[in-house]
Structure 1
Amino acid sequence: MTIQQPVQPAVDLAMFGGGRAVPRELRIKPWPMVTEQDEQAVHRVLRSGRFTSASSGEQEIAELEREWAQHVGTEHCVAVSNGTAALSVALSAVGVGPGDEVIVPALSFIGSATAPLHLMAVPVFVDIDPATFNLDPAALEVAITSRTKAIVVVHLHGLPADLDRITAIAARHGVAVVEDAAQAHGARYQGRAVGSIGAVNTFSLNVSKNLATCGEGGLITTDDADVATRATMLRQFGELIPANGERSYVAHLLGWNCKPNAMQAAFTRSRLTRFPAEAAVREENVRRLLGRLAAYPGFLVPEVPQDRTHAWHILRFRVKPADFGLADEFAGPLRAVVQRALRAEGVPAAPYQLQPLPAQRVFTEQRGFGAYPWALPGVAARPYRAEDFPATLRVLDDSFTLQKAHLHPESGPLLARYADAFEKVWQHRDALAAVATTTAYRPHWERASEIADAEWATAFSDR
């Protein structure tokens, strides 16, 4: 009997000297794509001479607020200067203050956790569901205490969290749910738009987002008129500034200067007219990519439960060591080698966040307002340790992401080449597995501490 040997791939990986799967001339298209309509919107503001929400008679900001509230399906929308400001203002508007606890998922952008810190509230981290990358409701239940005031529910990468379970837990404990939909514009949960379900909700309009402005911006949505009024006051010195007429300059409460910019509001309004069509094309392009990758079992592609839709802001992929013929302990080294192979082929595979939020030194070293809020009376001692969040650590170890490349509606041909690169890498899985078993490896979160030390030393070295 003749034993048939495995067929060896005909083309070497680029990291081993072969050609790239993605031609160098095929580049990521700029995002956001700026059209003549967008430029005209900005020029309209320049001609008006009204540039902020404090300008009597300004219309662009008010119209963006009205249009986004209508799009999401809420009674009110308040525009602010950026997404992190939106979260701080929203938390303050529902009564979060010094010494309160705010629950935050361990995997997110740091703004999700520093927003409560800016209010002298204490962030309490919970682990994630490794399939959705969102807050794990089971971990949430045990984290709530008598001091818990709010839950920041991040819809990470554009996939809605399990809002049914989360809101039910919050209701039992009398805790406010605040949706952080910074990456999830247009996503839906059981037919409802994200940003319409919590007591108050926030979006970012950062230039990288699916619905972007020409810089920074943020939106707060709510059905509660009192919350909307407080948010409006908090964004501009605690004042109630009339849409038309004289400004009183009376500060009714302690506010910030988080006023939105009219030019950026006009730019976003222009983009909003194309947003649904762009989202539909993005859905087609991403689904086509994921359909091809599903044929290569060594890659876990994003899951989308049937009761929700994905905004596809970021695509996260996990590697499965067993399908590469490796033991589970090689998940991290395998991810690192696969990521390097994909990058050599022209796929911009990269991590999103190097460490869990509770491993950031602002928390581990309690770098708040001096020792506060942790030194406030009645605040329980709370060590922040990465090892307390095993699901987050595992996802960070065995996954990589694609960012920005798929946002443009004309990204289809580029994503097809990315799929070619994944196929090529899969065909060379035995060689990559061999490299993974002999590669010196340290997890992201260990290297992140060294990176932070080096950055700090450089920033404050003698000049």
Structure 2
Amino acid sequence: MTKLAMLGGTPAVPRDIRQVPWPIITEEDRKAVVTVLDGGQLVSNAENETAVRDLERRFAERTGVAHCVGVSNGTTALSLALAALGIGPGDEVIVPSLSFIASALAPLHQMAVPVFADVDPVTFNLDPADVERRITGRTRAILVVHLHGLPADMDALGDLARRHDLAILEDAAQAHGALYRGKPVGSLGDVAAFSLQVTKNLPTCGEGGLLTTDDPALAEKVRMGRQFGEVIESGRPRDYISYFLGWNSKLNPIQAAFAASQLDRFDDYARHRQDNVTRFLDRLRELPGIAVPGAPEHATHAWHILRFRFDPAALGLPEVAPTALRDALRRVLRAEGVPMSQYQLVPLPEQKVFTDRIGFGSGYPWAAAEGTAGPDERFPVARAIIDDSLTLQKRHLHPDSGPLLQRYADAFEKVWQHRDVLAAVAGRAS
């Protein structure tokens, strides 16, 4: 039996193959950026054709919607979408208890109250039954996150939205290219928000965001909202009149050009990623005590993040607490060269910004909606997922990551042969 790296053995993943670049920057990407610099159209509201408008048209077409609006990042995309939907002070927006912090901050930016719902233990997405029990007379929207790249249960959530006259905002920041019953995410609700942040499956050279919708009025409100509430139209002189409260949330043409160049290779990268990740997960699926991510028959997974849950009893370590096993696995696997991370440390409702209810001061926006569930409410599934899971991020995005992922599988299999060491490490950590 091979000795574990943490005990002096040779790591399963050689050090010289551990660093995997993302995004992949090609000469085409560099040319796209230089073309914008040389052309002089350096802001999105320039009079002539810009790289932003080009990216908007292309992304709308591939997402199957009528309109796309480029903005500064994925978080502002969420806030602008809520503003365009008319969400305001005292309104409630249902948000999953497991997501990146931006999903829950966006309602706060509108002086609305995020109402958290628990998630499904397998998909990690919103649990429609828990969503339904949290709907009140103040609920105005459901913010649906396609977490880690897997589409949420849009049939059930869409039915809830129709019955209760609620808007659906898709947070598709991690799910570019994923399909639900053959339709792309970003076309499944009233409006959707995407991130182009440099770590995403469709990256730009820094920060960026996109909104998609079939509603022309919503699209126009977002366009106005991204630039001070002004009307910006080609061929019309700028009047510098703010028609409603807006922001300065424009997407830079350099970032748009870089993202558009990346879009040329997106489908090819996604196909390679699908093959690489599937072969990796097939090997891990054979190990006891580990639940690997997957997708139902009616959906595809974008594989932005891979989250694994661990069961001590199924692993033959019933005396070990889930958190102790998680921490032990993180330590042992990282020593083997597998960069496992915990990612979220607490469910969203336990973030200080929500438990302390500082917001905009004097308890707002919660004070505008008395009776909202308090910060002491528990979300058992989200908490359990955080307690017993680890994630793998970014390394698997590269289309040539197949051999590296197979080394990761070697490391998992090696560690699983040393359950006695795992038990000892977990015992010291508990």
Whether the TM-score (by the shorter chain) exceeds 0.5 is yes
1:43 equivalenced with 2:43 (yes/no) = no
Paired residue type of 1:406: H
> Do the aligned partners of residues 303 and 347 (structure 1) sit closer, same or farther apart at CA in structure 2, a change above 3 Å counting?
same
Partner of 1:142 in structure 2? 133
CA-to-aligned-CA distance 1:4-49 (integer Å, 9 cap, x gap) = xxxxxx2111112211000011123211110000000001110111
CA-to-aligned-CA distance 1:393-429 (integer Å, 9 cap, x gap) = 1000100000001001111111111010000011112
Partner of 2:284 in structure 1? 293
CA-to-aligned-CA distance 1:75-109 (integer Å, 9 cap, x gap) = 11111000000000001111101110011000000
* C-alpha contact 2:91 2:369 (8 A) present in aligned 1: no
Matches for 1:172-251 after TM superposition, within 5 Å: 172-251=163-242
Out of 384, 400, 420, which is 1:410 matched to? 400
> Do the aligned partners of residues 135 and 127 (structure 1) sit closer, same or farther apart at CA in structure 2, a change above 3 Å counting?
same
Q: Report how far residue 373 of structure 1 moved.
A: 2.6
Matches for 1:303-322 after TM superposition, within 5 Å: 303-322=294-313
Paired residue type of 2:422: L
Q: Report how far residue 439 of structure 1 moved.
A: 2.3
* C-alpha contact 1:325 1:433 (8 A) present in aligned 2: no
Q: For the residues of structure 1 that align with 2:85 and 2:309, how far apart are their CA atoms?
A: 37
Out of 86, 98, 115, which is 1:95 matched to? 86
Partner of 1:273 in structure 2? 264
TM-score, with length taken from structure 1: 0.91
Mean CA deviation greater in 425-434 or 177-186: 425-434
Out of 2, 9, 12, which is 1:21 matched to? 12
Partner of 2:67 in structure 1? 76
Q: For the residues of structure 1 that align with 2:191 and 2:50, how far apart are their CA atoms?
A: 24
Matches for 1:83-122 after TM superposition, within 5 Å: 83-122=74-113
Indicate the SS of the match to 1:104: strand
Partner of 2:420 in structure 1? 430
Mean CA deviation greater in 414-423 or 22-31: 22-31
> Do the aligned partners of residues 434 and 408 (structure 1) sit closer, same or farther apart at CA in structure 2, a change above 3 Å counting?
same
Q: For the residues of structure 1 that align with 2:363 and 2:250, how far apart are their CA atoms?
A: 27
Indicate the SS of the match to 1:388: coil
Indicate the SS of the match to 1:61: helix
Q: For the residues of structure 2 that align with 1:153 and 1:89, how far apart are their CA atoms?
A: 16
Q: Report how far residue 229 of structure 1 moved.
A: 0.6
Partner of 1:439 in structure 2? 428
Quick one: percent identity of the two aligned structures?
57
* C-alpha contact 1:183 1:313 (8 A) present in aligned 2: yes
Paired residue type of 2:70: A
* C-alpha contact 1:51 1:58 (8 A) present in aligned 2: no
Indicate the SS of the match to 1:322: coil
Out of 376, 379, 382, which is 1:392 matched to? 382
Paired residue type of 1:395: I
Q: Report how far residue 380 of structure 1 moved.
A: 2.5
Q: For the residues of structure 1 that align with 2:210 and 2:319, how far apart are their CA atoms?
A: 42
Q: Report how far residue 58 of structure 1 moved.
A: 3.7
> Do the aligned partners of residues 113 and 377 (structure 1) sit closer, same or farther apart at CA in structure 2, a change above 3 Å counting?
closer
Matches for 1:349-364 after TM superposition, within 5 Å: 349-364=340-355
CA-to-aligned-CA distance 1:305-364 (integer Å, 9 cap, x gap) = 111000000000111112222227621111111111100000000012111111011000
Q: For the residues of structure 1 that align with 2:366 and 2:149, how far apart are their CA atoms?
A: 36
Q: For the residues of structure 1 that align with 2:19 and 2:169, how far apart are their CA atoms?
A: 34
Partner of 2:51 in structure 1? 60
* Structure 2 gap segments, 5+ residues each: none
Q: For the residues of structure 1 that align with 2:319 and 2:34, how far apart are their CA atoms?
A: 57
* Structure 1 gap segments, 5+ residues each: 1-9, 442-463
Q: For the residues of structure 2 that align with 1:283 and 1:249, how far apart are their CA atoms?
A: 48
Q: For the residues of structure 1 that align with 2:368 and 2:289, how far apart are their CA atoms?
A: 51
1:420 equivalenced with 2:410 (yes/no) = yes
Paired residue type of 2:18: R
Q: For the residues of structure 2 that align with 1:308 and 1:117, how far apart are their CA atoms?
A: 31
* C-alpha contact 1:106 1:127 (8 A) present in aligned 2: yes
Indicate the SS of the match to 2:314: helix
Q: For the residues of structure 2 that align with 1:340 and 1:126, how far apart are their CA atoms?
A: 31
Paired residue type of 2:417: Q
CA-to-aligned-CA distance 1:247-306 (integer Å, 9 cap, x gap) = 111111110000110000000110101000100000000001001111112211002111
Q: Report how far residue 148 of structure 1 moved.
A: 0.5
Indicate the SS of the match to 2:140: strand
Indicate the SS of the match to 1:219: strand
Indicate the SS of the match to 2:256: helix
**Aligned pairs, number:** 430
Indicate the SS of the match to 1:123: strand
Structure 1 runs of 4+ with >6 Å offset:
none
* C-alpha contact 2:172 2:193 (8 A) present in aligned 1: yes
CA-to-aligned-CA distance 1:218-240 (integer Å, 9 cap, x gap) = 00000101000101101100011
* C-alpha contact 1:61 1:79 (8 A) present in aligned 2: yes
* C-alpha contact 1:374 1:381 (8 A) present in aligned 2: no
CA-to-aligned-CA distance 1:134-187 (integer Å, 9 cap, x gap) = 111110000111101111100000000000000101110000010000000000
Alignment RMSD: 1.2
Partner of 1:369 in structure 2? 360
Q: Report how far residue 376 of structure 1 moved.
A: 4.0
Partner of 2:316 in structure 1? 325
Out of 386, 401, 406, which is 2:391 matched to? 401
TM-score, with length taken from structure 2: 0.98
